[in-house]
Amino acid sequence: MARIELKDINKSFGEHQAVKGLDMTIEDGELLVLLGPSGCGKSTTMNMIAGLEDASSGQILFNGRDVTDIAPFERNVAMVFQSSLLYPHLTARKNIRMSLKRTKLSSAEIDKRVEDAATTVDVTHLLDKFPAHLSGGERQRVATAKAIVRQPDCFLLDEPLSALDAALRLSLRSELVNLQKRLHTTMIFVTHDQVEAMTMGDRIGVMRDGRLEQIGSPTDIYNEPQTLFVAGFVGAPPMNFFDGAIEETATGKVFANADMRVPLTGSAAELDPRARVVLAIRPHLMELCEEGPESVPLKVYAIEQLGNEAIVVCDGPNDNRIRVVVAPGYSAQIGSTIHARFNADVAHFFDPATERVIPKLTKAAA
Amino acid sequence: MTRKRFSIWLILAVAVALLWTFLPMYWTIKYAFMTKTEIASFPPLSFPPAPQLASFFNIFGFDYTLPDGTVIPASGQARQVMLGLRNSMIVSVIVTTITMVVVLPVAYVFARLEFTAKGKLLAAILLSVSLPPVSTLIPFYAVYVQLGLVGTITGLVIVTLTITIPIVVWMLIGFFRNLPPIEQLARIDGFSRLYTFTRIIVPMARSGVLVASVIAFLFAWNEYVYAQVLVTGSQAVTLPAAMSGFLFQVPEPAHLAASLLVSLLPPFFIAFFLQRHIAEMNLV
Amino acid sequence: MTVKFQEGRRRHLLRATTALSGLLAAAVVAGSLGVSAVSAQESFEAITDENVYFRGWQFRTDVVQGNVDTYNETMGGNVDYATVTGDYPAIMEQNLIAGGELDVLYANPSSAVRYFEGGWITPATALPNSDEIMEDMYPNIREAWTHNGELLGLSYFVSVRGTLLANLELIEEAGFTEEDLPATWPELYDMVYALNEAGVDTPFLPHWFAEYFGISWGFVFEVMNRGGVVADAETNEPMLSVDGPAGETLADWKELWNSGLVPEEVLSYNEAAFIDAYRSGRYVFSPQQLYDIKTFNDESQSADVAGHITLLSSEEQSWGLIDSAMYMMTSRDRAEDHTQDVMNFTSWYGYKNEEGEYAVANRWLEENMLFSAYRSVMESDMAREAIESAVARPEDYQTLLDVYATTDYPAGIWNVVWAEEFNSWLRDKLFAFLQNDLPVEEVINEANAEIERLNDRYGL
Amino acid sequence: MNGSSARPSRSSEPTPHGAPKPRRELSDLQFALVVTVPVLLFLVVVVAYPLGYALYMSFHDIRFFGGYSAEFIGGENYAGVLSDSAFWGALWLTIRFTIVTVLLGLLIGLGLAIVLRDLPPGWKWLRALIILPWAVSPYGTGIFFAYLGRGQTGFGTAFANALGIDEAINFISAQWVIEYLAFGNAWNMAPLVAFFLLANMLTIPKRLYHLAALDRMNRFEQFWNVTLPPLRFTLFVFSCILTVLALKTFDFIFTQTQGGPGNASSVLTYLIYRISFVNLNLGYGAAMSFFLLALILGLTGALFFFWGRKVSR
């Protein structure tokens, strides 16, 4: 319904620059998740797309039409706010109707649309309640009904699930995705929860300090993090990092620091030697082993049993916290030293100065 | 935690709180049901020995005959008391209305929007909260003499507004600050600022608006300093000024108590029914 | 009626007299109707539809409203009556300055002179029948109310503030008799201490309350009663002296205050509290308003003391001062006809009505024992009845008239523009004198200096 | 931005609005100006003008008597105030009255709030009764406490008498009148303090009390460590409110003691009233009222400086 383009958007509040030179395109019918920690500019970006805030500079295009200076309502977007904000003094029905109040639709038509929207998200029985008497999940559904009743070009959702408990979030998450796919409406979803982002988004835009760090499909983001930040922010349990250097030795290139020497194999072998590098490896790509020349010494800190697997949390070299996914039921003395190893071919390498990935020539296998 | 039941200490505490609340009022109000002699007796009587309602008739201009045949004559202040009651109502309602109409948008703007010089403007408004009436009494009087506003309801309304506006602005700012960011929702729904404010914000802020108007009403209803100087003895006399006729010069404690009780009824009624909103009125 | 009754019989008679007094008074009024109708004056009817604004302090507002209603009904008047509360002289002066809706007002002579000098007053001399009115007034009062040759207003009341009342019941309970009643201020203080020794906790309620006519007037009349003068009646020069009556007064006050016999709260009383305190029967002596002797002896108003309140004789010295008030006309901007209305009403209300009766003055005398400046009122049978019904003992009638006849008027500090300013200053200074234990000399010297300062300020 | 030419190319959905022309909304500043400027003008005219006039008077010797006259006398009035012992006496009374009012108001408010909090369900309506003194006017409160406190008419005397003590118990004495006045003022204001404190208390998580119980705190420690800390800001706000109101109090004292006994409760407002209004010494009264204004601003400023900065959010 709408293809949204952001061109070199900047936004500052006084001295503070909230969004810096943002370029981004959201395809028609796509569900884009804006992910990032609080204060990263993701909500500001969404507000600018909605028209709630004016961009300091840059352009916003809806289907090629410049809407930068157009009021929110004219952009035909619908928005669900944090904690599913509703008018507290109006019933659910009136809240939903408010979305159509400024349209020229006839009253009968509005009634029909409200019924349809309510049915779509299954809130028909809640229509005459006040927001204060709705549970968090119910409120979220009503807010969604209020959004879809507009039949907007674009849905904007600003952390609508953040105030709910985990189980409810899980079910509402899939409901929202299902709804978006059925309606096939462009949706932008802002969250700071990477699991939410991974599970919902067609694409994820990771933001930090007002900049777009990386945008891509969840798989890309997960497997090909372009920056140290993305690597650390996305994925659970989080990525392990080792500081060290790439050295040229007689037997080939190795990643080395005081405690470990890992030979670089596969695509990693093509990296150039450099004095400072950060190696990143997913916890489940590491395995425990006997002490050996390629193993990494780790001091057990805690063991988390997840049922289908277990995670050993350890203190690694340079005081980095290192996690290793192991078989369920694993046990070890806290404080004891264990060893693990990994294949450098599937590791990522980052330049600590630029925090960007050091490209390998060939793609690592997933 | 023994929160759910009455403990002996709690009963005691509640009793003390109720005594604290009602004893000072009762001690004077009881005079309304007593005769001059009973009031004057020493040591003072704690309870009216033969309660009767003469004073309530007297202050509204009716004679009252006691069971023993004694006629207690109507007070000559009756006309003023009734005039005062009427004027106090008029002044309080006008002041409350104007205050709310004026203050709601101002408080809203100060609470919810960012704009230049906001801090200074706010400070100016709040400075006027600090002005003691005795400082402005004479200047007001002098200006009013020039403008012919002495002894008029208009004059009293204007001067009372200078008390209510700053204090209500201040109270409502705190309240508006705590509302959710509903304006954004309204903008998405396409409502103008005016519509948002009048049809969404104000109804949403019902508690705050109610309490703020109660406060404005109480300030207007209870105002005495300016009234004593500006409208006493005039057609615009208010209830406090009319009542003080029972306070000075010739002793009429019974009439004073009766009219005090009458003057307390509207505020009591309002405070009683709106008290649960008061707690919602977050100052901070 | 100077026969000494036995205690029991006297009370019985008194009760009968009280009950009958209303009827008797009514009869007297009815009787006088025919007699004085002869001197009926020309019409007092209102000419215009303009309101005549009549303002006063609150005293028996029911009576005033009744009288005003009568005028409005019979004479087609548009008199608007209301009371002014709080600091009456100050608020009235503000109103006069403002030139607002004010035509007729009450005023004490001390304020009256200032209002007149301020140019806000039309003197009563402007009334067509002013010669007749002045002729009818007691000369001493006419003199007190005359300034620069003009009669300032018509008679509202003339009374004695500071008449020394005594509660006979308490005196007898303490083992004293009527023979022991003091005749002078020094004797009074002696008796106060004697009563205290006899077990009376609160023998005296001094005139130390907080109103503008409270403690300062108390000082002024005590000085006068002891034969002193506060300021010269002609030149307004200060006349207080440390070793004269003023010094003696303050020395006695200091002793009384330090004795702890006077409850401190008196200093915060308004008149209501002051009267109620004496009405309660706690105190033996108190200087009070002369007309309040009626209040105190009225069973329906003061059951605790009624029938026991007598007054001290003025054989050796006078008690209190002449406290009077006038009806004054303002000189604000009015149409001529409107002014005529004001005069008609003032004359009707402050002198004789269309029937030639002193209707208002008579009613005041009858209901509250407010004395009038008019001879014809005071020397009527009705006046006698009214007074006799108000006193505790028949012989008090004569005492009362004597007290009234011998009382002085502080012309030197009252018939002068700065009267209220000095009064207010004196009030504060006397409070400080008691509470801060100031030396007598200091207070007297400062009072003299203040009078001189005020004379300078107003070029007197 | 020529928006009108850029019609959106939409799908077949009906456009939800009639006018396609893009609408420029009022900016925050514009909206703020539209609503605040009239009010500010009103306040400037109605507050600043009298204030300016008072300033003018304070440098003049003003007389209404015998025709209005104003003679410029420079700072003489101000100098006069500073060397006036009545002013310094009243200043001390004012400060004493203010401090005791604030302390009593907060303490009693706190006490009432705790009682109201602990009411069992079904008894909450008592709250509606406890609030009532707040609705009483200051002049009414003055009258109530005058009759309540005087030895002649007061509760103390009646109570003592009921116990068989034949004595008049008087609270309106030079020694205690200020404290007694503050007591009455606290009666008037404490319910409001209590309501706001109560609202605050109800937001304290129950778990904190459980925690306190686990730590075996006694009731006082529990109050001190759990209940009190979240109330600090409200207490600060009300100490400011009570300070300003106490310093401005006039009618309450006027009806209760008339500044008495003697001058024992003649606080600055009352002194100014007498000077300006009874003695019509307008310039001098105006000068003194500026000292009062400075005191109000100074005290609230000091409160903020020493306390408010630490607790404000």
CB contact under 8 A, D280 and C263: no
Chain A residue with minimum CA distance to D28: A53
Chain B: residue whose CA lies nearest to C279 = B40
Question: What's residue B248's pLDDT?
Answer: 65
SS3 C110: helix
According to the model, what pLDDT value does residue B205 have? Answer: 85
Residues present in chain D in total: 313
Q: Does any CB of chain A come closer than 8 Å to the CB of residue B225? A: no
With an 8 Å Cβ cutoff, are C90 and D64 in contact?
no
pLDDT 10s digits, A27-75: 999 999 999 998 899 999 999 998 888 888 999 999 988 888 888 888 8
Q: Are B142 and B227 contained in the same domain?
A: yes
pLDDT value of residue C39:
41
Determine the residue of chain D that is closest to A100 in CA distance. Answer: D16
Residue D233 belongs to what domain range?
Answer: 73-311
Residues of D in contact with C210 (CB under 8 A): 257-261
Q: Would you say residue D27 lies in a domain?
A: no
Helix (H) or strand (E) holding C295: helix C292-296
* Average pLDDT estimate for C101-114: 91
Task: Please tell me the distance from the alpha carbon of residue A210 to that of residue C64, in angstroms, as a whole number.
Answer: 82
Answer yes or no: do A70 and D3 touch at CB < 8 A: yes
Which of B168, B170, B193, B191 lies closest to B111, judged by CA? Answer: B170
Same-domain pairing of B203 and B252: yes
Beta strand C52-56 with C104-107 is parallel
- In this predicted structure, what is the pLDDT of residue C27? 38
Q: Are A150 and A105 in contact (CB under 8 A)?
A: no
Contact C85 B229 (CB under 8 A): no
Domain boundary among B42, B57, B72: B72
Q: Distance, in angstroms, between C100 CA and closest chain B CA?
A: 7
**Residue B92 and residue B42 share a domain:** no
> CA A99 to CA A102: how far, in whole Å?
7
CA separation for the pair C267, D258 (Å, rounded):
9
> Does the structure show a pLDDT above 80 at A348?
yes
Q: For residue C52, what is the domain's CATH number?
A: 3.40.190.10
CB B137 within 8 A of CB D274: no
Nearest C-alpha of chain B: how many angstroms from A8? Answer: 24
Phi, psi of C165 (to 5 degrees): -90, 150
* Cβ-proximal residues to B240 (8 Å cutoff; 6+ apart), any chain: B84, B88, B222, B223, B224, B227, B228, B263, D137, D139
- Tokens representing C434 are 């008691």
CATH at residue B131 = 1.10.3720.10
Q: Which two tokens stand for residue B10?
A: 């709690």
Measured in angstroms, the CA of D286 and the nearest CA of chain B are apart by 6
Pick from D10, D13, D23: CB nearest A71: D23
CA distance D131 to D126: 9
pLDDT at D101 over 60: yes
Q: Dihedral (C-alpha) A310, A316, A319, A325: value to the nearest 10 degrees?
A: -20
Query: For position D204, what pLDDT does the model report?
Result: 85
Is the model more confident about B6 or about C159?
A: C159
Q: What H or E segment, with its residue span, contains residue D279?
A: none
Same domain, B114 and B52: no
- The residue in chain D having the minimum alpha-carbon distance to the alpha carbon of residue B157 is D46
E-assigned strands of chain A?
4-13, 16-26, 31-35, 57-62, 65-66, 77-80, 154-158, 186-191, 203-208, 211-216, 240-249, 252-256, 261-263, 274-281, 286-289, 296-305, 310-315, 321-326, 337-342, 348-350
D48 secondary structure, DSSP code: I
How many domains is chain C partitioned into structurally? 2
Strands A252-256 and A240-249: antiparallel
- State whether B216 and B278 are in the same domain: yes
**Residue D50 is assigned to a structural domain of this protein:** no
Q: In which residue ranges of chain B is pLDDT below 50?
A: 1-3, 284
Q: Cβ of D143 and B256 within 8 Å?
A: yes
Query: What type of residue sits at position C88?
Result: Y
Q: Kindly list the partner chains of chain B, i.e. chains with 3 or more CB atom pairs below 8 Å.
A: A, C, D
Residues of B in contact with C101 (CB under 8 A): 151, 234-235
Higher pLDDT, A11 or C17: A11
Per-residue 3-state assignment (H helix, E strand, C coil) for chain B = CCCCCCCHHHHHHHHHHHHHHHHHHHHHHHHHHCCHHHHHCCCCCCCCCCCCCHHHHHCCCCCEECCCCCEECCCCCHHHHHHHHHHHHHHHHHHHHHHHHHHHHHHHHHHHCCCCCHHHHHHHHHHHHHCCHHHHHHHHHHHHHHHCCCCCHHHHHHHHHHHHHHHHHHHHHHHHHCCCCHHHHHHHCCCCHHHHHHHHHHHHCHHHHHHHHHHHHHHHHHCCHHHHHHCCCCCCCCHHHHHHHHCCCCCCHHHHHHHHHHHHHHHHHHHHHHHHHHCCCCCC
Nearest Cα residue to D228 out of D241, D216, D212, D214: D212
Tokens 């012992």 belong to D85
Tell me the per-residue pLDDT of D19-50, one tens digit each, with 9 for 90 and over: 344 445 566 677 777 777 887 788 778 878 88
B142 shares contact with chain C (CB less than 8 Å): no
Partner-chain residue, chosen from B181, B185, B189, that has the shortest CB–CB distance to A101: B189
Are residues B62 and B112 part of one domain?
A: no
Taking only Cα atoms into account, the Rg of chain B, rounded to an integer number of angstroms, comes to 23
Same domain, C165 and C219: yes
Distance CA D114, CA B45 (A): 33
Question: Any CB–CB contact under 8 A between B89 and chain A?
Answer: no
Q: Can you tell me the distance from the alpha carbon of C447 to that of C136, in angstroms, rounded to the nearest whole number?
A: 37
What is the domain count for chain D? 1
Scanning the structure block, which residue is given the tokens 């309620």? C205
Considering only residues 188 to 227 of chain A, which have any Cβ-Cβ distance to chain D shorter than 8 Å? none
- CA C248 to each of CA B218, C229, D111: distance values in angstroms, whole numbers, following the listed order: 52, 13, 53
Chain A touched by B119 (CB under 8 Å): no
Alpha carbon of B64 to those of A207, B52, B53, B58: distances in Å?
84, 10, 8, 7
Which chain A positions have a beta carbon within 8 Å of D10's beta carbon? Answer: 63, 76, 153
D14 close contact with A: CB closer than 8 A: yes
> Which candidate in D152, D166, D274 is best for mutational testing of the C interface (most C CBs within 10 A)?
D152
Tell me which residues of chain B, numbers 180 to 219, contact chain A at a CB-CB cutoff of 8 Å: 180-182, 184-185, 187-191, 200, 203-204, 206
B184, B235: one domain: yes
Q: Between D8, D13, D17, which is nearest A65 by CB?
A: D8
D56 part of a folded domain: no
Calculate the average pLDDT of chain D: 84
Please give the structure tokens belonging to residue C326.
Answer: 């006038």
| Chain B residues lying within 8 Å of A155, measured CB to CB | none
Tell me the β-bridge partners of C311.
C165
Q: Which residues of D touch A74 (CB under 8 A)?
A: 17, 20, 22-23
Query: Mean pLDDT across the stretch C143-171?
Result: 93
Contacting residues of D for C264, CB less than 8 Å apart: 170, 172-174, 261
Burial class (CB in 10 A: 0-12, 13-18, 19+), A58: middle
Q: State chain A's maximal CA–CA distance in angstroms.
A: 82
* pLDDT tens digits for range C381-406: 888 888 888 888 888 888 888 888 88
Q: Do residues C265 and C169 both lie within one domain?
A: yes
Inter-chain residue contact D46 with B229, CB threshold 8 Å: no
pLDDT value at D9 more than 70: no
pLDDT of C40 > 70? The answer is: no
- Stretch A222-227: mean pLDDT, rounded? 92
Which CA distances in Å does B210 have to A229, B97, B282, C189, C459?
Answer: 51, 11, 13, 62, 59
Contact D286 B135 (CB under 8 A): yes
Q: Could you say which of B72, B106, B126 is where a domain stops?
A: B72
Give the minimum alpha-carbon distance from B124 to chain C in angstroms, rounded to a whole number.
Answer: 31
Cα distances from C234 to residues A251, C125, C414, in angstroms, run 131, 22, 11
- The closest of B88, B43, B62 to B264, measured between CA atoms, is B88
Is residue D21 domain-resident?
A: no
Residue D36 resides in a domain: no
End-to-end Cα distance, chain C = 51
For the purposes of burial, counting CB atoms within 10 Å of the CB of C61, is it exposed (0-12), middle (13-18) or buried (19 or more)?
Answer: buried
Coil/strand/helix, residue A173: helix
Tens of pLDDT along D37-92?
A: 887 788 778 878 888 888 999 999 887 776 778 889 988 999 999 999 889 999 99
Is D157 an 8 Å CB contact of chain C? no
Alpha-carbon separation of residue B36 from B61, C66, C291 (angstroms): 18, 22, 17
Q: Does C2 have pLDDT greater than 80?
A: no
Window C:287-316, CB contacts with B under 8 Å = 300-304
Can you give the pLDDT at residue C37? 37
Q: Is residue C35 one of the residues assigned to a domain?
A: no
The amino acid that residue D141 corresponds to is T
Give the chain C residue nearest D257 (alpha carbons).
C268
Q: Cβ neighbours of residue B194 under 8 Å, at least 6 residues apart?
A: none
Residue C34 domain-assigned (yes or no): no
**Mean pLDDT for the stretch of residues A184-190:** 92
Residue A31 in 3-state DSSP?
Answer: strand
Contact residues, A window 10-69, toward D, CB-based 8 Å cutoff: 62-69
**How many CB atoms sit inside 10 A of residue D164's CB?**
6
Statement to judge: residues B207 and B264 lie in one domain: yes
pLDDT at C317 over 60: yes
Q: Flag whether residue D150 sits within 8 Å of chain C, measured between CB atoms.
A: yes
User: Is C170 in the same domain as C57?
Assistant: no
Find, among B264, B250, B251, the residue nearest to B26 by Cα. B264
Peptide bond connecting A237 to the previous residue in cis, omega within 30 degrees of 0: yes
Domain residue limits at C348: 3-29+40-158+323-387
Closest CA in chain B for residue A103: B190
d(CA B89, CA B84): 8
Q: DSSP code of A328?
A: T
From residue B280, alpha-carbon distances to A360, B104, B207, B214 in Å are 61, 17, 7, 14
HEC letters along C318-352: CCCEEEEEEEEEECCCCCHHHHHHHHHHHHHHHCC
Which chain C residue shows the shortest CA-CA distance from B41?
C280
Beta carbons of B27 and D115 less than 8 Å apart: no
Do B134 and D272 count as a contact with CB atoms less than 8 A apart?
yes
Mark whether C383 and C424 lie in a shared domain. Answer: no
Looking at the partner chain, which of B42, B233, B241 has a beta carbon nearest the beta carbon of C55? B233
* Residue listed under structure tokens 């009288």: C67
Strands A203-208 vs A31-35: parallel, antiparallel or unpaired: parallel
pLDDT(C32) > 60? no
Are B94 and B207 contained in the same domain?
A: yes
Is the confidence at residue A133, as pLDDT, over 80? yes
If one counts every other C-beta atom within 10 angstroms of the C-beta of residue A3, the result is 17
Adjacent-strand bridge partners of C327: C106, C154
How far apart, in whole angstroms, are the C-alpha atoms of residue C112 and residue C153? 8
Q: Which DSSP letter does residue D222 get?
A: H
- Same structural domain, B172 and B265: yes
pTM for the whole thing? 0.82
Buried b (16+ CB within 10 A) or exposed e, B222-255: bbbbbbbbbbbbbebbbbbbbbbbbbbbbbbbbb
Q: How close does chain B come to A49, measured CA to CA in Å? A: 11
Same domain, B61 and B126: no
Q: Are C456 and C417 in contact (CB under 8 A)?
A: no
- Residues B238 and B142 occupy one common structural domain: yes
- Which range marks the domain in which residue B67 is found? 3-72
Q: What is the DSSP letter of A63?
A: T
- Confirm or reject contact between C437 and chain D (CB < 8 A): no
- Tally the domains of chain B: 2
CA–CA separation, C76 and C379 (whole Å):
32
A104–D9: do the CB atoms touch at under 8 Å?
no
Query: How far C13 CA sits from the closest chain B CA (Å)?
Result: 20
List pLDDT tens digits, range C52-83. 999 998 888 888 988 999 999 999 989 998 88
Chain-chain contact of B40 with C280 (C-beta, under 8 angstroms): yes
In the block, tokens 């018509």 appear at C154
B-chain residues near A130 (CB < 8 A): none
Q: Are residues C261 and C276 in the same domain?
A: yes
The predicted structure's pLDDT at residue A205:
94
CB contact under 8 A, A73 and B187: yes
